[in-house]
């Protein structure tokens, strides 16, 4: 049988899509192999959120080409979309698949390289789709559920699974190319979301992460995100429902209430801040200011006191002065995020900032601010996790811990916890008393209650 190797770069939406692309290759007679192994087809689901992501996308295409010179190298995702839009040649790439047809990557590959058809016995599952249709969800591409074909490979089985419910962005923030690479606003039908969630539950998944490019904009005409969360929370054997990164302006009181009132909704929201300084927020064309964000956090914490709030912050955006940076850092300290991802600004193709703003902050200054804010973010993470020293928390076990004989997992409010345990605690929810928090803001504890296993 022919072999396909897949690699994923970037966000949780990409992660979900890569799993579905893998399913579609298996359905067409391919075996999956590691990306560093010889294969007949390499698929790279690329990212373009930063210049580093662009470089990594190009590097992986070249690496696959060197590893198997006769293989077909297929790129999809946001970097591939930008390359298509700008007619950029990508060294090593055999085929670029646009984002709007990403779920048809296997079909595009077999159509482009007919020699793979007879080799794989492929196309035994016909989609019957016309050319150039939008296929951002698996059912739009005619993909069958993998479980109806064969048992899902162990490599694809996880305790936590992402579930894509929305695609597209129309915010056009000054720094971001996503509205250009994912311009189709679409919400998945509620019935299709529920069906896949139930299948995931049947496969042993314990936590579902509801994701989308602008997940807060979910609206299929019958339900919005709060109603979707309530529906998912009622599915038997799903122990947690977590909302992925969401825009502050799309975080409604109805959603906050749904998270607060659903017994298995994770007490965690990732609110994309980007800057805590009003001047920079305005230059970024973000549709809120620091006061709006501060008031939103107060409303959330009033409803969900134990919530873990995580965020993204960019340093070195054009025009960010020392004073702007200090205000942003002070705002982050005030909010006391449970975890912060800090990014250095880099110009992105086609964006307002790239075309109209001078990249005025020197590289060395960006590096210094990145280091300074990252250190402050670690302190905030330690502070948040330390509140739970001496408390018993529910931990969903996801894999090995930092030490030999330890396992690790996350609490509902996104504290990573390490604890000594036997391997039979895998794929289980355990009660752990937190004893200490290390310098990286991760907790260590001991199991204090019976293991609830879901093997």
Q: So where are the chain's domains?
A: 3-147, 148-386, 392-453
* Residues 187-224: tens digit of each pLDDT: 999 999 999 999 999 988 999 999 999 999 999 999 99
Per-residue pLDDT for 151 more than 60? no
The residue length of the chain stands at: 455
Q: What pLDDT does residue 401 have? A: 87
Confidence of residue 140 (pLDDT cuts 50, 70, 90): confident
Average pLDDT (147-173) is: 73
Range of lowest pLDDT (26-35, 300-309, 381-390) = 26-35
What is the CATH code of the structural domain delimited by 3-147? Answer: 3.40.50.12160
- Burial (0-12, 13-18, 19+ Cβ within 10 Å), 129: middle
Range of lowest pLDDT (34-48, 246-260, 330-344, 423-437) = 423-437
* Residues 62-115: tens digit of each pLDDT: 999 999 999 999 999 999 999 999 999 999 999 999 999 999 999 999 999 988
Per-residue pLDDT for 453 more than 50? no
Of 379, 357, 373, 378, nearest in space to 314 by CA? 373
Confidence of residue 132 (pLDDT cuts 50, 70, 90): low
Per-residue pLDDT for 154 more than 50? no
Range of lowest pLDDT (42-56, 303-317, 412-426) = 412-426
Q: What pLDDT does residue 62 have? A: 96
Q: What pLDDT does residue 133 have? A: 60
Distance CA 144, CA 165 (A): 17
Instruction: Decide which of 134 and 284 is more confident.
Output: 284
Helices 322-335 and 290-303: crossing angle in degrees, nearest 10, is 10
Adjacency order of strands within the sheet including 95-96 = 31-33, 3-8, 41-46, 72-77, 95-96
Per-residue pLDDT for 439 more than 70? yes
Cβ distance 402 to 416 under 8 Å?
Answer: no
392-453: CATH, from 3.30.1690, 3.30.1490, 2.40.50, 3.10.20: 2.40.50
Range of lowest pLDDT (47-56, 120-129, 198-207, 362-371) = 120-129
Q: What pLDDT does residue 159 have? A: 86
Average pLDDT (263-292) is: 97
Per-residue pLDDT for 146 more than 50? no
Of 326, 437, 453, nearest in space to 386 by CA? 437
Strands 308-315 and 339-344: parallel
Distance CA 4, CA 351 (A): 34
Confidence of residue 425 (pLDDT cuts 50, 70, 90): low
What is the CATH code of the structural domain delimited by 148-386? Answer: 3.80.30.20
Strands 41-46 and 31-33: unpaired
Tokens 């109805």, located at residue: 254
Average pLDDT (51-60) is: 94
Confidence of residue 400 (pLDDT cuts 50, 70, 90): confident
Distance CA 82, CA 388 (A): 45
């Amino acid at each position: 049988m022919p072999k396909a190797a897949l690699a994923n770069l970037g966000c949780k939406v990409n992660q979900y899509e890569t799993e579905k692309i893998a399913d579609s290759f298996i359905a067409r007679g391919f075996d999956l192999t590691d990306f560093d192994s010889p294969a007949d087809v390499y698929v790279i689901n690329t990212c373009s959120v930063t210049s580093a992501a662009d470089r990594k996308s190009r590097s992986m295409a070249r690496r696959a080409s060197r590893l198997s010179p006769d293989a077909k190298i297929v790129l999809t995702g946001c970097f591939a979309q930008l390359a298509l839009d700008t007619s950029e040649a990508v060294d090593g790439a055999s085929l670029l698949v646009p984002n709007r047809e990403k779920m048809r990557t296997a079909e595009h590959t077999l159509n482009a390289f007919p020699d793979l058809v007879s080799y794989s016995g492929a196309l035994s599952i016909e989609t019957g789709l016309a050319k150039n249709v939008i296929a951002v969800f698996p059912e739009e591409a005619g993909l069958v559920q993998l479980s109806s074909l064969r048992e899902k490979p162990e490599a694809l089985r996880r305790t936590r699974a992402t579930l894509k419910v929305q695609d597209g962005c129309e915010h056009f923030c000054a720094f971001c190319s996503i509205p250009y690479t994912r311009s189709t606003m679409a919400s998945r039908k509620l019935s299709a979301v529920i069906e896949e969630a139930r299948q995931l539950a049947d496969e042993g998944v314990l936590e579902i992460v509801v994701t989308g490019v602008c997940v807060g904009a979910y609206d299929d005409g019958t339900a919005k995100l709060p109603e979707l969360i309530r529906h998912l929370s009622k599915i038997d054997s799903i122990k947690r429902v977590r909302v992925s990164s969401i825009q502050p302006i799309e975080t409604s009181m109805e959603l906050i209430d749904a998270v607060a009132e659903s017994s298995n909704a994770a007490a965690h929201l990732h609110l994309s801040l980007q800057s805590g300084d009003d001047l920079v927020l305005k230059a970024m064309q973000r549709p809120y200011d620091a006061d709006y964000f501060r008031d939103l956090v107060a409303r959330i914490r009033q409803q969900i006191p134990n919530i873990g709030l995580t965020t993204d912050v960019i340093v070195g955006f054009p025009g960010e002065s020392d004073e702007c940076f200090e205000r942003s850092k002070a705002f982050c300290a005030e909010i006391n995020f449970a975890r912060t991802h800090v990014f250095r600004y880099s110009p992105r193709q086609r964006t307002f900032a790239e075309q109209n703003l001078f990249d005025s902050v020197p590289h060395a200054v960006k590096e210094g601010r990145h280091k300074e804010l990252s250190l402050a973010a670690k302190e905030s993470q330690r502070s948040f996790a330390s509140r739970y020293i001496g408390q018993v928390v529910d931990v969903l076990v996801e894999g090995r811990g930092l030490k030999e004989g330890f396992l690790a997992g996350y609490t509902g409010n996104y504290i990573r916890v390490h604890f000594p345990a036997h391997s039979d605690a895998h794929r289980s929810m355990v009660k752990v008393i937190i004893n200490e928090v290390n310098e990286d803001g991760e907790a260590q504890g001991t199991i204090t209650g019976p293991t609830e296993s879901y093997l």
